[in-house]
Amino acid sequence: MKYFVIICILIISLSGISCNSSKITRNQISKEPHSINSKLLERLSTISKAGFAFGQQDGTAYGLNWYLNDGSVGLNSDLKKVTGKLPAVIGFDLGHLEHDNIYNLDTVAFALIKQQTIEINRLGGIVSYSWHADNPVSKGSSWDTTEAVHDILYDERIKNKFNLWIERLSIFFKSLKDDDNQFIPVIFRPFHEMNGSWFWWGKKNCTKEDYVELWRYTVERFKYHGVQNLIYAFSPNTMNDVKDFDDYYPGDDYVDILGVDIYNHSGNTRFIESLNMNLSILKRKSEEKDMPFALTETGNMRMGSDSSWWTETLYPALHNSGITWVLVWRNARRDHYFGTFPGEKSAPNFKKFTNYPDVLMLSDLH
């Protein structure tokens, strides 16, 4: 018996496999009781029982007619200027961090992103990162649809480049620590909208099998570099049916949160129909997998012409839906914005929207 115990200890330490030969998966580790990731997942579950957290991409970094620089102190947002409240969820993008650049693809300094991530976490908010990585083969943008996924997996030169990119992101993730020197858990949403074809990882630019392998490989590379604070969110574009989910899903061991990105490209009526159908798919999947789900990207493509969109279109579809958060895209300029701002046509309606008891801004999360 003594020798059996010794052998078991050696197996555990060397291979990560228990004595009953069941492998400890990455997902099990991320949800281990008292881990920083499990605490965030528990918070998200609690939020969904009270309502849904509201967020915006780059919402505290810039807005209409203002822009923060690296070293700026304090948090502001267009939404706060309208309501007096900060968003509960802030999204940032890590595109160009793979090149070790100072600024991301939207000219936000990574130092500012890190600083604001720490501050948002201190205030009880949630941070979600997307990654519009450049095409590693063509050196074009994310929207350069030159095939690249297969090369990342099977061409050593491209794989080595991608590995360096993951290493650079790993350094950033491991630098996110709170006042107690503990890692800050963040949501990471890579390779999104894969069932569309506008990104190099999209459906016409790689096989479903290669997409799944890319996702798993990416997760394993972060694990290799000792990254412990990522909550992985899987988010297709508007799904036509459950097949759009199943075809690209990397597996429960590689995903923590389910999401979908839906905009009202085809008008509000179609948007509501698609939103209801897509969220019903996610709700079924979340119940099967015991994972939270979210509307990870959305927005009104006709902002400025619809004064009641928040309460008459968006809210009815989200009320009692079970989502844990919703994130609208960024306020880049007057011809490209998805949140409101002072003087904008829907600002009074957005203020009404945020006063509903189940719409949770940052101050509502305490």
Q: What is the pLDDT of residues 217-266, one digit of tens each?
A: 999 999 999 999 999 999 999 999 999 999 999 999 999 999 999 999 99
Question: Nearest-CA neighbor of 111 among 126, 129, 91, 97?
Answer: 97
Q: Residue 218 — left, alpha, or beta (φ > 0 → left; ψ -120 to 50 → alpha)?
A: alpha
From the candidates 98, 213, 297, 344, give the one annotated as an active-site residue. Answer: 297
Nearest to 302 by CA among 329, 253, 274, 264: 264
Residue 198 in marked binding region = yes
Is 193 part of the annotated catalytic residue set? yes
Mean pLDDT, the chain, whole residue set? 91
- How many CB atoms within 10 Å of residue 18? 12
Q: Which of 5 and 346 is assigned the larger pLDDT?
A: 346
CATH code: domain 31-365 is 3.20.20.80
Mean pLDDT confidence for 327-333: 97
User: Pick the catalytic residue: 193, 220, 287, 344?
Assistant: 193
Q: What is the pTM of this model?
A: 0.91
Whether the Cβ atoms of residue 86 and residue 75 lie closer than 8 Å to each other: yes
Using pLDDT thresholds of 50, 70 and 90, give the confidence band for residue 71: low
Question: CA neighbours within 13 Å on the CB side: how many for 341?
Answer: 22
Give the tokens for residue 105: 């693809």
Rounded to the nearest 10 degrees, the angle between the axes of helix 208-224 and helix 156-174 is 50
| Rounded-to-10 torsion of CA 181, 109, 187, 165 | -90
Q: Which residues lie below 8 Å from residue 103, measured CB to CB, with a gap of 6+?
A: 96, 109, 110
d(CA 359, CA 366): 14
Q: Is 263 annotated among the ligand-binding residues?
A: yes
Cα 260 from Cα 278, distance rounded (Å): 7
Tell me the domain boundaries of the chain.
Answer: 1-26, 31-365
